[in-house]
Amino acid sequence: MKKILLLLCLLAGFIVPISAQEEEPETTPTSLPPIPYFVAENSARKFNVPLPFDWENASTDPNIAHFTHPDGLGDIYALSVDVSDPLSAVQNAIRQVLGDDVTLTSRYSGQFQLDGNDWGKFAFVADSGAITAFTQTRNEAVYVVFYDYPKTDHEFYFMAQNVVQTEEPQAAVLIALKSLYPELPDAPQSEATVTLSNGDWTRQMYETDASPVVALWQRRGAVVYIAVENGDGTVVDGVNKALFTSLFGFFVTPQNLDYLWLGLAVTFGIALIFVISLFARHRSLTRDEALVRELMK
Amino acid sequence: MSAIQSMNMPITTEIPTAPNRLWILTIATVIFTALGFVFAMFVAKTDVNQGDIQRIFYFHMPSFFGALFGFVATVIGGINFLRTRQTRWDNLALAGVEVGLALALINLATGSIWARPIWNTWWTWDARLTSAAIMCLTYAAYLMLRGGIENPEKRRMFASVYGIVAITTAILTLVIIRIVPSSIHPAVIGPSPQNAEGAFEFSQNVAMALGPNFIIWGVLIPLTLIWWRIRLQNRVDVVNLRKAEALSE
């Protein structure tokens, strides 16, 4: 009975500190509903892509994300490729999804940094339309997410460009746009501010000898995000900003299984050492006891 | 000899054998520990943000509560020893510290291993980490100081008081992320501090893996080990008594 009471006292000892933790400060119920993610099933090559609002998950392969827009705004794909070179990986990924016979003409390629990770950025003109691709290289694999814009009469791309903290974002926007359209003038013909639910965006129109170029951009931290179209801007104006979430919210689950094994080894190792020490002390006592018996004799 | 006799110690030279209840508890603990491992490794899904290392949490957090279990046992042992002067309470206090310290070391080491891939460092002088380290050092000092006192009665008195006071370091470690808002250590129950890094969603499968491991590492393992450690200490007392008897003859 006393032992049971003792056990109850020990368990009661938890109540005070646990209740101290449960004192939650007031929280405002303003958190957004969770974004649905496609999560690749391959545990060694696990990646995650947010499904944009109004888009449908048309994935059939558990390791290839495929989102499609019901109004034909395009398709988003994400997959991992076991090729170390990002450009080759993007081309492999596009051909794996769209078919080996697809013709790809590179429009630009480059790198940028986002959340401490190195990203690759690519644009292609394909038979099916304009393709924007982003890559992350991790653990000898390249993770590719690409957006396939289906119309072939004009181009529509997403871009990202690092901007120095002290620099005006306009300079970075111009660098990005000129990598696609070198003939672009240094100043836009018109500029307006567009307010979307995630803040103010800048809409600029540049006149060129061919068709006009319309860019919609926003700076967030050290990155400026751009949607660009060589047309009258109807696609840019109608673009679902959630697409940015999908393309740049794409992330790779880190592979750190080695650290888990280390942690388990330490956990069970310390427990085992303690048990072994009990055994060792028990044996030592047994020897002492035998010695005492000898002395007693 | 006189010191031992003066403490109402049961004068018996019988070597106690482990009761069936202890063996049943031990076997159950081993089986449940294996089951808890299976829950953590196979039932819980991989955290998409943190990867597999997040699974260490199923041992990291329960082992802290296991340590707390041991340290609370030390407080109970210490208070009752001061009240009754019965050595069995001191044995409980000692067992609580040894088991608690082992589990606290598991907690500290697994936290450091988790931090390496998530925080990109093995160690940072964050409030929670620092208080956990102080807690470990405080209880390690208990064992060292206890071992340094020759007189058994003084040793037990000192250890009782020390063990009661030392629980403040464990309580401080538990609540410090609520007191110090700059802590980067995420909270498990309730909202994390605003600077917390490495928190994760407390989903159903997390709860399914955490619940059993909380009982296993927080209650079953410390209870079993404390019980065995008490029995060992009882045996130490008996052997010491026999030694004293042999020497007196």
CB within 8 Å: B221 and A271: yes
Q: Which of B116, B94, B32, B107 is nearest to B66 (CA)?
A: B107
pLDDT of residue B165: 97
Q: Which of A69, A58, A119 is nearest to A89 (CA)?
A: A119
**What single string gives the DSSP state of each residue in chain B?**
-HHHHTTT-----PPPPPPHHHHHHHHHHHHHHHHHHHIIIIISPPBTTTBGGGGGHHHHHHHHHHHHHHHHHHHHHHHHHHHH--HHHHHHHHHHHHHHHHHHHHHHHHHHHHHHHHHSSS----HHHHHHHHHHHHHHHHHHHHHT--SHHHHHHHHHHHHHHHHHHHHHHHHHHHH-TT--SPPSSSPPPTT--S-----HHHHHHHHHHHHIIIIIHHHHHHHHHHHHHHHHHHHHHHHHHHHH-
pLDDT of residue A10: 55
The whole-angstrom separation of Cα A148 and Cα A146 is: 6
Mean pLDDT of B81-104: 96
CB within 8 Å: A14 and B55: no
pLDDT of residue A5: 63
- Choose between A42 and B31: higher pLDDT: B31
**What residues have CB less than 8 Å from A154, skipping those under 6 apart?**
A211, A229, A230, A231, A235
For chain A, what is the mean pLDDT? 84
Mean pLDDT of B158-170: 96
Least confident of A207-221, B21-35, B80-94, B102-116: A207-221
The whole-angstrom separation of Cα B86 and Cα B96 is: 16
Closest CA of chain B from A119, distance in Å: 18
CB of B17 less than 8 A from some CB of A? no
H or E, element range at A170: helix A169-180
pLDDT of residue A1: 55
pLDDT of residue B156: 95
Q: Are B113 and A259 in contact (CB under 8 A)?
A: yes
- Choose between B78 and A297: higher pLDDT: B78
pLDDT of residue A30: 55
CB within 8 Å: A46 and B48: yes
Least confident of A5-19, A154-168, A220-234: A5-19
The whole-angstrom separation of Cα B217 and Cα B57 is: 12
The whole-angstrom separation of Cα A150 and Cα A153 is: 9
CB of B48 less than 8 A from some CB of A? yes
The whole-angstrom separation of Cα A159 and Cα A217 is: 9
Chain A contact probe: residue of B239, B245, B248 with most A CBs at under 10 A: B239
Chain A contact probe: residue of B106, B169, B226 with most A CBs at under 10 A: B106
Residue B8 binned pLDDT confidence (cut-offs 50, 70, 90): very low
pLDDT of residue B180: 80
pLDDT of residue B16: 61
Residue A6 binned pLDDT confidence (cut-offs 50, 70, 90): low
Give the residues across from A80 on adjacent strands: A143
Least confident of A79-83, B33-37, B130-134: A79-83
pLDDT of residue B217: 96
Mean pLDDT of B186-215: 75
Residues of B (201-220) whose Cβ lies below 8 Å from A: 218-219
pLDDT of residue A19: 46
- Give A239's DSSP letter: -
Q: Please say if the pLDDT value at position A271 is more than 90.
A: yes
Mean pLDDT of B157-178: 94
Residue A258 binned pLDDT confidence (cut-offs 50, 70, 90): very high
* Minimum Cα–Cα distance from A47: chain B residue: B48
Mean pLDDT of A260-288: 96
CB within 8 Å: A253 and B109: no
Q: Please say if the pLDDT value at position B10 is more than 50.
A: no
Q: Are A134 and A145 in contact (CB under 8 A)?
A: yes
CB within 8 Å: B175 and A46: no
Residue A92 binned pLDDT confidence (cut-offs 50, 70, 90): very high
**A176-218: per-residue pLDDT in tens?**
999 999 889 989 999 999 887 778 889 999 988 878 999 999 9
pLDDT of residue A54: 81
Count of CB contacts below 8 A, A vs B?
A: 143
Q: Give A43's contacts in chain B (Cβ within 8 Å).
A: 46
Residue A22 binned pLDDT confidence (cut-offs 50, 70, 90): very low
Residue A231 binned pLDDT confidence (cut-offs 50, 70, 90): confident
CB within 8 Å: A292 and B239: yes
